[in-house]
Each structure stands twice: as C-alpha cells, then as structure tokens.
Amino acid sequence: MGYFYTQGIIINTEPLNERDKIAIFLTEDLGKIKVKFGSVRSSKSKRSGFSEDFINEKVLLYKKQNFFIATEVSLIDAYTGLKNSIEDYKILTYIKEILLTLLPYEQPEPKVFNLLSTVLDCLKISKFKNSVTIYFCMYLFKFLGFPILLPEVVKGDYFFSPGKGGFNKVIGARVNSFVIEDFVKIYKSKPCEFSEIVDFNAMFDLINSFVLFHSDSEHYKNFLKAFERI
C-alpha cells in the first residue's frame, strides 16, 4: 500500500514515546485506524495542534506494520467551541469511549463516520446536548447491527433487557413510560432538531447496560466509574 489521502476524525490520542503520538482515527473509507504522528509532542511542532482529540482533518498516510504513518495534514474542523466547558468535555469523552469500546479496527463504517460528523455539528448548535448524544448512541447501535428495539406504541408496562434487544413486555428492568417515549422521540427526530428530555440519567443508564452487554468491557466499566466522579 502506497501513499494515499483520507479524511478522519481523531477520537483518541496517547503518547508513543518522548516525541511521537498514536492517534485513533475514525475514517469513512478505512473505519477505525491507528495513526502515528511523528515529532508532535513538542510545543514547537507545527503539527502538534493536528494531533488532538476530536480534530477533523485530511491526512496523507502510508501503512507500516500495525499502524499508519501521517505525513501531511490539513485541518477541516477543530470543534473548538465544544472544548470550552465541562458539559461538552463530558459528552465528547462519552462518545469517544463508546466508539473505542464498540468499533472494530480497520472495518469501513461510512455510516458511523457520517453519524459522528453530523452529531459533532449538531453539538455545536443544539441546546439539548444530551438528546444529541442519545441520538448518536441509538444510531451507532443500529449501524453496528444491534439496534435498541422500540415499541411502535407506548402503552402499558414495559421492561428493558439488552439480552432481549431492548424494550419488551416480558423481562428486564421496569421502565417508566415517559423514558420510552423520549427514546422514541429522539430516534424519530431529524438531526439537530431535538427537544428537551425528562430523565436523561435513566436513559444513559439503559444505554450503558446495552453497551456492556454487547462488549463486556472492563475498561468501559472502569470508565463509567471514573465518569461519575467528573
């Protein structure tokens, strides 16, 4: 594989050594990949600002062993308006951890890439950021092949069981009807056309149980414990 261009959004970075970084990119054509950025850990590096979490950029790559090497980068969007508050930081961190937990490496997921790009744009303008995040999770699950099952009509008692695929009439944790109604409302919303939800904590609890069922990740369990303390 020679040199080639791709567009990607960085979802995580970590130091490789004293000079270099490894970034995890979500791209449209390659899926989730590991990219090495050489000599960017110095403040004097002209590319240090291109190797941070949630940077959308065009990058020239070539593959070496188990990761790709970045040779040229050009910025598309740094999402700077989403990096100035604790609320936005928590949302970006949450999105990042779900992608790190659920997405396999080097499997093209163009719908997931477009979903992330759309959701980040929505977060820049929406007043209802929790609704945007739940929308992201629901469609991510759908695109990965395990959608949360929703009732066509919310009537009577419902339960939530990840093993049963979501909401059902038989087994699981009992769920208040207004929580289910908000799930349905968000799922049917057009991107960025969201409204306020009643109990987002209850909704995120159900989503987290769904993620854990499909990943059984100790890392994600530890993340949730740390996330509660932020």
User: pLDDT tens digits, residue range 36-52?
Assistant: 888 776 666 666 667 78
Is residue 57 a contact partner of residue 8, using CB atoms and an 8 Å limit? yes
Measured CA distances, 203 to 19, 158, 186, 206, 222 (Å): 42, 14, 11, 5, 19
pLDDT for residue 1 is more than 80: no
How many whole angstroms separate alpha carbon 11 and alpha carbon 127? 23
Domains of the chain in sequence order: 4-78 (2.40.50.140), 81-228 (1.20.1440.120)
Give the per-residue pLDDT at 66. Answer: 81
DSSP letter at 147 equals P
Give the per-residue pLDDT at 205. Answer: 96
How many whole angstroms separate alpha carbon 142 and alpha carbon 102? 12
Is residue 209 a contact partner of residue 183, using CB atoms and an 8 Å limit? no
Q: Percentage of the chain surpassing pLDDT 70?
A: 95
Residues 6+ apart with CB under 8 A from 157: 169, 174
Instruction: Provide the whole-model pTM.
Output: 0.93
User: pLDDT tens digits, residue range 79-97?
Assistant: 999 998 999 999 999 999 9
How many whole angstroms separate alpha carbon 166 and alpha carbon 149? 5
pLDDT for residue 171 is more than 90: yes
Give the per-residue pLDDT at 49. Answer: 67
Give the per-residue pLDDT at 210. Answer: 97
Q: Percentage of the chain surpassing pLDDT 90?
A: 76
Q: What's the average model confidence in pLDDT over 115-140?
A: 96
How many whole angstroms separate alpha carbon 30 and alpha carbon 44? 31
Determine which of 32-36, 60-64, 225-229 has the lowest per-residue pLDDT on average: 225-229
